[in-house]
Structure 1
């Protein structure tokens, strides 16, 4: 069951008593522009998966691509981002390929793992500089959005929560003074 089905069923169970139930449910079915729909094309999902996998590569745990982050990102961009941030995101993907072509003579998908890493480190530096200098009305940097969605998608996925984090299905009491050793995994609840 997906999020939309769950919300619809909850609204029906409650007998429509949710104030503004119609508006509540419409918020989960926002129509995307044609350009945002291009994010759902298999080539773009693969590109997003490769970008995410460069940010969070497989190590002792699965990488972001294996966790399905490439499919997660388009849904979040369509359903949760403002039209302005959607456009920044789309323009940023095009810019990434342009920079890749200018710097390496190939699109991002054709780069080696080291070249991808080098390109994304430069994009991350650019995003950090942009975010620290931006005013309230300035748009976000595209790589800032990509990185946020990669981390969110990975650590909320089943693989990320159970393989990269220590997962406890039914947690015990809260212990704010739990001993931590450097290198231990964080907890996912």
Structure 2
């Protein structure tokens, strides 16, 4: 990623203005997230997966889930809709 950003910026990405850094990353994002079927480059696939993982992880944090997403607790107590017997196990749900 550093090599690509350096090529897009024309020099070391850490030595250019923040606006230029943003433009270089925005260009990579446009190429990587624009048409997922067209992305065949292994580094772009890895970049996309890494960026999505970072975003998902952020929204699992307290700040991401409660402030950024404006979390609102569901009012009232939770009421089970299916009776659960003494030896029954709860269901796991993959969302």
> Which of the five TM-score ranges fits, normalised by the shorter chain?
0.5 to 0.7
- What TM-score comes out, normalization by structure 1 length? 0.33
Matched residue of 1:133: which SS?
coil
Structure with the bigger RCO (C-alpha within 8 Å, sep 6+) is 1
Change (3 A) 1:156 1:119: same
Count of paired positions: 74
TM-superposed CA distance for 1:152, in Å, is: 0.5
The question of 1:146 aligning with 2:54 is answered: no
Contact kept in structure 1, 2:32 and 2:39, CA below 8 Å: no
Task: Judge conservation of contact 1:123–1:143 (CA < 8 Å) in 2.
Answer: no
Question: Which position in structure 2 is the counterpart of 1:98?
Answer: 3
Aligned match of 2:85: none
1:110 offset after TM fit, Å?
3.5
* Aligned partner of 1:172 among 68, 71, 75: 75
Check 1:119–1:134 CA distance in 2 against 1; reply closer, same or farther (3 A cut). Answer: closer
Please state if 1:115 is matched with 2:20.
yes
Which consecutive residues of structure 2, in runs of 5 or more, have no partner in the other structure?
77-95
User: TM-score w.r.t. structure 2 length?
Assistant: 0.58
Larger Rg: 2
